[in-house]
Amino acid sequence: MIRLRRSVLSVPGSSDKMISKGLELSADEIMLDLEDGVALEEKEGARSKIIRAFKDHDWGDRVRAYRINGLDTPFAYRDIIDVVEQARESIDVIVIPKVEKAADVQFVDSLLSQIEMNLGLKKTIGLEASIETALGMLNVKEIAFASPRLETLVFGIADYGASLTMPSSGVSGHGDAEENFIHRWHFPMSRMVMAAKAARLAAIDAPYGDFRNEAGLEKSCQQAALLGYDGKWAIHPAQLDTINETFTPSSEDIRRAQIILKAYEDVKASGEGATALDGKMVDAASVRLARVTYEQARRLGLLEEKE
Ligand code: COA
Ligand code: MG
């Protein structure tokens, strides 16, 4: 299932106010959180709040997601059973935090299959795996191929830094002391996006924690987009416009993709393998890239006036 996920807004599941507000915002996906955004004493109460949000609110075209607690906590099994039994087909995907091995994804997959069979659900609920520990990053290849329910891999930055015992200054995440030496997130981000794309999943980047720093957010979005990421988490409403903008192909990108696709059709018709466009080579690989841009633009409805 291909869904639009430029921006994924994390909304604490314990806050009715933020849930109502979140559902009015322009995020492609809203993730109601039961994990780290919710205090221990509110874990149980937050479940009923998110069940109500799934059942009673109009989500429009937004992807309807929630994040369960980790599989090593006493909360996770009820987060799955209670919420899915009650919100049923109003859920699109479940985000599993701190996935460390393929069996973690397969456990949730089997449990969901049982619930779906028991309730006679017509829809299959999808999964998103958050990669945010050393072990998860080590096993990311097996995780990416663990279940046909998987739709995305998500990079979880603060927990990843903690798991690797990285020194943290300030926000512990994107933008945090990365100018001083090699960009500390480059390797894990590349490793995760490679596994995601090999398994034909979307890759979503971690949020930018310093949410009042617009220039930092923009740079962080651009770096992720350059590595092949499809979108980024947001933790604050003010981050959505920048994220949506960066992960939307520009009209120049769309125009160029269309020219490349057309040039390649012409070269194929003439029996050649490659051609030149503005002094640069166009071959089958450029065409695959152009197709990705074209497909994203089509899904965003940006093609009409250009075709
Ligand atoms: N989802 C929905 N609404 C949000 C929101 C979010 N993630 N973050 C802030 N808002 C709302 C606020 O409630 C406020 O609403 P109001 O104008 O109706 O009062 C408005 O947006 C402006 O918020 P602001 O006052 O600037 O921020 P804050 O100080 O209230 O909150 C945070 C800052 C970081 C605590 C808050 O953004 C937050 O909790 N984010 C989510 C954190 C999270 O999900 N963490 C786990 C995943 S990494
Ligand atoms: Mg985390």
Residue 140 belongs to domain spanning = 7-246
Residues with CB under 6 A from ligand 1: 9-12, 17-18, 21-22, 33, 36-37, 207, 235-237
Say if CB 66 and CB 101 are below 8 A apart: no
Task: Looking at the CA of residue 67, tell me the nearest atom of ligand 1.
Answer: 47
Residue 151 DSSP SS3 = strand
Choice from 26, 235, 239 to test ligand 1 binding pocket (greatest atom count within 8 A of CB): 235
Determine, yes or no, domain membership for 305. Answer: no
Q: Report pLDDT for 281.
A: 78
* 119 and 214 fall within a common domain: yes
| Ligand nearest the Cα atom of residue 133 | 2
Centre of ligand 2 from the C-alpha of residue 294, in Å: 33
Q: What is the DSSP letter of 207?
A: P
**Ligand 1 atom 5: residue of nearest CA:** 236
Q: Report pLDDT for 306.
A: 44
Q: Report pLDDT for 286.
A: 82
**Ligand 1 atom 3: residue of nearest CA:** 18
Say if CB 70 and CB 76 are below 8 A apart: yes
The pLDDT tens digits for 44-57 are 999 999 999 999 99
* 259 and 242 fall within a common domain: no
Structural domain total, the chain = 2
The pLDDT tens digits for 183-231 are 789 999 999 999 999 999 999 999 999 899 999 999 999 999 999 999 9
* 203 and 273 fall within a common domain: no
Q: Say if residue 21's pLDDT is above 80.
A: yes
| Ligand nearest the Cα atom of residue 136 | 2
Determine, yes or no, domain membership for 14. Answer: yes
Where residue 307 falls among pLDDT bands split at 50, 70, 90? very low
Determine, yes or no, domain membership for 2. Answer: no
Q: Report pLDDT for 175.
A: 74
Half-sphere exposure of 9 (CA within 13 A, CB side): 27
* 280 and 212 fall within a common domain: no
Q: Say if residue 9's pLDDT is above 60.
A: yes
* Cα distances (Å, whole numbers) of residue 282 to 67, 277, 278: 42, 7, 10
